[in-house]
Amino acid sequence: MNIFRLTGDLSHLAAIIILLLKIWKTRSCAGISGKSQVLFALVFTTRYLDLLTSFISLYNTTMKIIYIGCAYATVYLIYMKFKATYDGNHDTFRVEFLVVPVGGLAFLVNHDFSPLEILWTFSIYLESVAILPQLFMISKTGEAETITTHYLFFLGLYRALYLINWIWRFYFEGFFDMIAIVAGVVQTILYCDFFYLYVTKVLKGKKLSLPA
């Protein structure tokens, strides 16, 4: 495992922990898109079904279990424990416009036409756009809490580091996965505007605000 893969995983884990702690400490999920979190739970569920069929390493298995567990814990906190604080009026992105096309694309473009491979491909495609409901919600409310922006930053950083990981593996291992790379590029592009605002505003102590 190279340093970019490791730091990417740690950035991803940091994002998840930041979000969980934010919800738990404030006893509120205000400003958090429940729809995005449901999509991420679906991503991890369909991607890590190989937990039932294969063992790669203790690290690999542990991280997969943590991702799945945290994803469902987040969904539980939003839709059950702190449901009264959930802002459903602004979380209105039509997720079927993401899930249905992504599902169709996974059937058409994959490495191998088998159930596990199609579901893995589906998860890769879905992850690239799963943050859209959250970004859409921020655009509707016009602003985001600082802790929420930290979550989004580390989530975007994880994807950017994974892109570098793919480049590293291509040059040093001869490994090339077009599906993962294209999906990673799409996901990173979605974060570009947010990255700019994060650096120019949030890191300077200002609140991130967008035109509603």
Is-above-0.75 flag for pTM?
yes
pLDDT of residue 51: 93
Q: For the chain, what is the mean pLDDT?
A: 90
Number of domains in the chain: 1
Residue 211: CB partners within 8 Å, gap ≥ 6?
Answer: 139, 142
Strands 143-144 and 208-209: antiparallel
Residue at token pair 């059950």: 80
Q: Is residue 208 situated within a structural domain?
A: no
Comparing 170 with 10, which gets the higher pLDDT?
A: 10
Answer whether residue 210 shows pLDDT above 70: no
pLDDT of residue 59: 94
Return the beta strands (E) in the chain as ranges. 143-144, 208-209
Q: Is residue 209 situated within a structural domain?
A: no
- CA–CA separation, 110 and 63 (whole Å): 24
Q: How does pLDDT run across 115-163, given as a tens digit for each residue?
A: 999 999 999 999 999 999 998 998 888 777 887 889 999 998 998 899 8
Average confidence (pLDDT) over 154-178: 89
Phi, psi of 91 (to 5 degrees): -90, 70
Range of the domain at 54: 3-88+95-201
Hey, is 175 helix, strand or coil? coil
Q: Is residue 143 situated within a structural domain?
A: yes
Comparing 9 with 143, which gets the higher pLDDT?
A: 9
Q: Is residue 7 situated within a structural domain?
A: yes
Q: Is residue 137 situated within a structural domain?
A: yes
What tokens appear for 33 in the block?
């898109």
Q: Is residue 169 situated within a structural domain?
A: yes
pLDDT-derived band at 192 (thresholds 50, 70, 90) equals confident
Q: Is residue 29 situated within a structural domain?
A: yes
pLDDT of residue 209: 65
Q: Is residue 195 situated within a structural domain?
A: yes
Answer whether residue 69 shows pLDDT above 90: yes
Lowest mean pLDDT among 104-113, 165-174, 193-202: 193-202
